[in-house]
Each structure stands twice: as structure tokens, then as C-alpha cells.
Chain A
């Protein structure tokens, strides 16, 4: 851990995260403040880095201008005059004929155009549109692959929604530690996501409605939604418990209390009464999330049902083709989404909708949350405080390249890093490193 010396490692080491995944819910146990401090430090340090880099960059640029550091491709220094090889009587091996200068070649960058486009879906409604949100979030609208701004400009950045639960969920400790102070109050939780962690939106999951858990009646559960709408002014997403029988009722009720707010109802699936959810969405002006299990054909089928049978407007459907964690089926999730996106761009109007990803699933990977490898033969896994967030980051980053438009996430550091990546890839982060070749000779 020598590497981490500059990094408050002593404090990091104090973060004794025991018990890994918490399946049982602890009742009001004291919050370990020292651990919180260390992890916030981690987060803040990381956020500061963007500030620092910009500072450093400005500095480097000034220096290089002052010193007149030449452009990266100056005229080649004269190479030592090539000694012409003495002609050999029998050239057994081909000789190198050292050319005097480069054979000039031009690189013509290819341009790819697709006939189709991805629908643009607006979440949230401001007062002007009959809602009470401070701003709206636009998803989709692409005419090229994600971040291929050299083909077509990317109209909207992928958005990030942080998950909020109406009952204490099972979370990896590294995640839970950030929400411990708000876990009893979804409204406070939502506030923290937006104000402290920079979420564009929040997803309120009404998990307690599950008949196998508290079985909270729909009418009571949606009071939490009203609280959240009061507490934050960003667009919101409402999730059910995943119970196929109860969710339509719960989401219908939620649609009613959110009338005019243009929320996203998550989710409609093939094996439930999707029509009921769609009808509620249409009646109260909301968006429906069409969720299938990693199968492009099922996604197509469900979307067709929503479009043709339930008559959902095209600007009110988002798809969740299912997210699997890095190392646990990410290849399927990636390729499924990439195929869906390419089909949409090629003109398949059953599949040209924005894509949503439940990136929080990354925390299901044991590499993200276990203290150490259960196998002795593995090289030690290192501090999991560092492994966990990067697991969520790489899962999200990979799927962003497949075309995901909205990420449902949890770790604040992962949220911050993904935002930085998205801003960079659409060209919104100015500057860079002046001499990108310095690593060749630098002692790191």
C-alpha cells in the first residue's frame, strides 16, 4: 500500500468494512464517522483532480508558449547520411534501400451515415409544461454511434439517475456508507443524490410494495413519491418492486400522483399487465421503461406491444435491455445493447429508443465488494474501497459505448467519473496534456 501514502491511506485503512454485503438490515446502528470522512475525502480528492488538471494544464500551456516549445511534428532532424550499401555480387538477402524521405500518404477519414435515428425522449416537465420540475432531461436523439461526434453531433449527454429506495436495501458496504445518514428518509436521500452527488435525476424504487416484503399498499407507497417530488426538483423515475402482479397497480397509482410531471415508470415487462402501465402513462403524460432480459427479439416484441397495442407515443418509450456486471455477463449486455442501437440507427423503428442501464448491478460482482478473493491462488485483490467504484465505472463506461442514454447508479465516485468521461467524449472538457509523449522518458 506504499502507493497510497499520499492518499490518506492511514485513514483508508481505518475503514474496516466487515460483513461485506449486508443482507440483514441493521437497526439504527451508530454511523462510523471516521469511515465516512475517509471515503468523502476519497471522493473530494477525486473531484478536485479535475480542477487541478485544468490548473496544471493552463500552467503547462503558458510555459510552453513562453519557451516556444515547438509543435508536436517539427521537421525531422537530419538523419545521419545513409551509407550506401556496397553492391554485393550475389544479394542473398534483400537489402534495405533507405529512402531519402517519407512517401507522402493522405489519410482520408471515413464518414459513416445511418438512415435512422434514435427517438428523443424528454423526462420531467417544468411549470411551462404543466409540471413542477426545475429542468428537463432529454434522452436519445442520436444519429450516430455513441460519442462518434465526428460523424454527427451528439445531441444529449447520457444522463445519470441515482437509486433511492423506500426501505433500507441490501447494499455493498462501500456504497451503503454514503447513504447511511439518509437511508430512513427517501426525500432526504433524493436531496443528497442531487445536491451532494450531482445526480441529474433520481429513481425512487418502491420496493416495500413487494407482497413478500412489507406489502405496502400502492396508495400508501406513493406518498413517498410525493415526498420526493417535493424534496427535489429534478425529473424522477419510479420503480416498482419487480413483482409482476403488484407493479402495474403500484405504477398506475404513482402515475396518478405524478400527473403532469412526466416521470418514467419502471418497468413494463412481457410477463405482466404492461397495458395497464401504458394506459396510466398515457393518461397522466409519462414515459414507460420497456424492460426485457438480454434478448433483442423480446425487446422488439415488447416495444411493438407498447407501440401497436397500447398505442404509446414514440417519444414516451425508453428500453432497458438488462445490465450484467463486468465479469458476470457484461459481454452479453454490451453486445445486446450494441445490436439494438445499430438496428435502431439502421432504421428499425421497433428498436430506435433511448437505452437505460441498471449499472448498480455492477455491485453484484464479488470483485466489487468482497474483502478478499475466496481463492488462495489469486493474487491478493487489494483494497476493495478502490475496487468497488472502478467496477461500477468500467461497467458503465463499457455500456455507454454500446449506446446507453441513462444510467441508474449508486456510488458517488462512479457517478463523478462517468460524468467526466461523457463530457470528455462529447468534446465538452477543454484542454488536455500539452506533451502527451512525456511518459516515454519520465520517471513515474
Chain B
């Protein structure tokens, strides 16, 4: 981590030091430490912002502080409004050193030689995509609109159509005329334009400047990539994304891996601001290889996986099939989970679907993933029940049984704490199938009759049909 300021004290010196609490923190010092770990923004200091409007000296101070605390990798915004997406903004090479901040943005391919009906179908699939995970829905970020017609009019028309879905877009054409036509229509949606190359950089520089949109630079030679970036920056273009060219196979893929890692290391280890921009990866390149659809799709997922772990800030996908989307989306969530916050929920008793005293008592751990999975499975199967959540320090069922975090003593403790015995008129406890080996111990410890439920909570419904109410 090479933030230019490293201690809260350095930040504190820029603040009013009045402990006014307007920012929501008790002291300026605690606010300062929040700025450093990026859970608060400099602009949250209301007095500083207010004074900066009147006093040029304070303004200078504010700007200096913003600069000193800005992320190592530039943060670029694509799209507008509440669906706008931030890419880049990273600080570290390894997530345990702090965290990764802005999850890799996933843009999905739409091309302008498709007929309108097919375009609508694809757009709808992207917009409607949903996958429940850890208490929320994973969704897809936006579209990559490719100009395969080389016809400015058609590209403009399709860009407009896709824009109507309200998601951030990447516009793809190396032809400045086509790009200009689309920008005339959708520049106000702040699309990322792709791409400036050694061949067209002048025209693309002008487009990025005139329409005030972020621009991707594409070059396999990192000297060229850096040269274009430096040239753009010196012309006042700040919102830059780097595409070091994703080669999908063989030596090309190995070299791509090297380029991506070297770009990011250069920015973070050497503090080279000329390459400290978000990196764009194109798993869609996998569709250039020979083979059947499944092969290409699998390889697309592989390329995406590689660069979700290693520094890809935005990606362009072709496939919208689940065997590509589900694993990569899940991986993105995992890699960008903040390792500083344990993924836990509070222990205790939850009432699912307003249960009555004769309904079953289930047991699970406080690992957020486990908890939300069970809760959702019960809800969606419309099962009424009482759900006991044991504090296992955020460890899942199998590992917490093995590691002694889920024990008969803990089960007894939660039964007593929650007074669940007063809420039900039976003494049956349903434990997860993966905790089956605790059955006897829990019975001995609590005096409750323990029923071993299914290994996966998605199966509780079927299990209930056979096992509930329990046969005496």
C-alpha cells in the first residue's frame, strides 16, 4: 500500500479539529482514520467544504487532502445516476493488505448486426439476471455495444436502443465516425468508449474530450499504451481505462497475464501514475478460438476467473449462459468481499413465516452465507419455523463442527438464551445434516429430541413431508 498519507494524524492536520460530529463521527481523529480506510470521504467534513467555498486557502487545503488520500489506481465512473458503476480505485496488490474496493464490472456483448428482436432478448436477459447470494441478489452491470455493421447510423440506433435499458455501457468501435454517431445519441449516459489505439488516438482523444466520456486505450505494447495514456492525460483527459489486449490462448494468454500484472505492480509498487488506471479485460476474446460453444464458453470463464483474481477492473463477456455467468459472478463476489469485516449475522432466534408453537425448531450457524441460504430456502418453500442461529464466529456448519465451534454446549446455551422452549409446545430440534455427528451429544446436553435434517437446506421441504410432525 503506497497511500501518500499513512497515518490518521497526517489527515487530522488538514481537518478543522473541532470535533463537531457533523460527519457522523465523534472526533476529527476518528473521522481521519475512516478516511484512511476509505469508509468515509473527505467531502463528508461539512465545515471544511463550507469554508472552502469562501476561502481560497481552505479550498487549496481541501484539494490537497483529496489528492493525498485519493486511491492509488484512478477511479473511473461509467454510466449515470444510481446505476453508474465505479471501476478501479484500488490500493493494494493482495486483498489481505486492505481490501479490493470496486468489483470487476461485467459488461455483456450486444452487436448491431443482430436484429432488433434478438437485441431486445439479450438486453432483457442481462437486465433480468438475478442470483440470490448471502442475503442479496447478484446482478449484471451493463452492456458492451459492438459496431459490427461499420455503419454509423445503425450503431447510433442500436446504442440508443440499448441505452433505454438504463445500464452503463461500453461502446465498441475503432472507427471514430461510428463512435461519434453513437456519442451524439448517448454521450449523456456517460458510456466508456472503446478504444483509442495507435491508429486512431487523435480522433478518440477529441471524442473523449468533446463528449466528456471515459475512454479505453488499447495496445499490446505497454510502451505504446503508456504513451497514449500520457498524451491523453497531458491534454486534460482524466478518465482513462487501459486495455493491454487480452490474447485468449497459449503464449498470448501467458503474455497477457504478464502485462496485466506488470501494469498493476508498476502503478502500486512503483507509484507510476501514468499507468495507474483501471484495467479492462476481454474474456469475449475466447470466442476467437476454434471449437464448439461449450469449449469457448468454458474458456471465457477461465480467462475471466484468472483476471477477476488478478486485477481486472472491467470485463467484456460474450456468453450470458449460467456456466459462464454464475461461477464468475460468484468469484467476483468472493474476491471483492472485504476481508476486514467478518461475514456474520447476529446469533439468536429468528421467526420464519410467523411460526406457531407446534412448528419445528431449526438450527444453523451465524456464517452469513449459511444463514441467508437457510432463511431463504425456508421462506421460499413457505415453511413456518423457528430458526436458532448459533455463534460459530462466522464459520459454516461443516467446518464449525470439525473445528469445535459448533458444539452441544453452544446449542444448549442458545436454547437457554433465546428461551425458545417457552415459545414451542414440543422439544424437537432439527439440526443440519452436516452436523449429524452432534445428534447424541446435543440430546444428552439439552434433553431435546434431535432430528437430523438434510445436508442442504434446499431439501428441507422434502424432508418435512416425511419427517414433520415427528412420529411419536
Contacts and interface: CB of A to CB of B under 8 A. Distances in A.
A439 B326 contact: no
Given A335-B95, A374-B458, A94 B174 contact: no
A366 B458 contact: yes
A102 B254 contact: no
Contacts of B321: 3, 382, 386
Nearest to A431: B250
Nearest to A145: B261
B201 A102 contact: yes
B284 A439 contact: yes
B290 interface: yes
Interface of B: 94-96, 109, 111, 113, 128-133, 137, 146-148, 150, 172-174, 195, 198-203, 205-206, 209-210, 218-231, 234-236, 245-254, 257-258, 261-262, 265-266, 269-270, 274-275, 282, 284-285, 287-295, 297-298, 301-302, 305-306, 309-310, 318, 321-324, 326-328, 330-331, 333-335, 337, 339, 367, 369, 376-377, 380-381, 396, 398-399, 402-403, 437, 455-456, 458
A105 B94 contact: no
Q: Place the interface of chain A in its size category.
A: 35 or more
A76 B230 contact: no
A443 interface: yes
B236 A105 contact: no
B252 A110 contact: no
A147 B257 contact: yes
Interface string A424-444: 111101111101111111111
Contacts of A98: 202, 205-206, 235
B219 A73 contact: yes
A436 B326 contact: no
21 contacts: A7-B293, A46-B295, A98-B206, A99-B235, A110-B266, A324-B396, A327-B133, A328-B369, A335-B339, A338-B95, A375-B377, A377-B132, A377-B137, A393-B302, A393-B327, A394-B328, A397-B305, A430-B250, A435-B288, A441-B150, A444-B284
B131 A430 contact: no
B287 A439 contact: yes
Contacts of B195: 440
B425 to A, nearest CB: 29
A23 interface: yes
A33 to B, nearest CB: 22
B148 A442 contact: yes
Interface in A404-442: 417, 421, 424-427, 429-433, 435-442
Contacts of A74: 198-199
A387 B322 contact: yes
A103 interface: yes
B201 A76 contact: yes
Q: Which of B133, B195, B218, B254 has the most CB atoms of chain A within a 10 A radius of its CB?
A: B254
A31 interface: no
Q: Specify the main secondary structure of chain B where it touches its partner.
A: helix
Contacts of B322: 379-382, 386-387
A390 B218 CA distance: 30
A98 B236 CA distance: 11
Contact of B209 (A96, A331, A375, A430): A96
Q: Which of A338, A398, A430 has the most CB atoms of chain B within a 10 A radius of its CB?
A: A398
A339 B92 CA distance: 14
Given A7-B294, A21-B455, A107 B202 contact: no
Interface stretch (A48-56, A181-189, A231-239): A48-56
Nearest to B245: A436
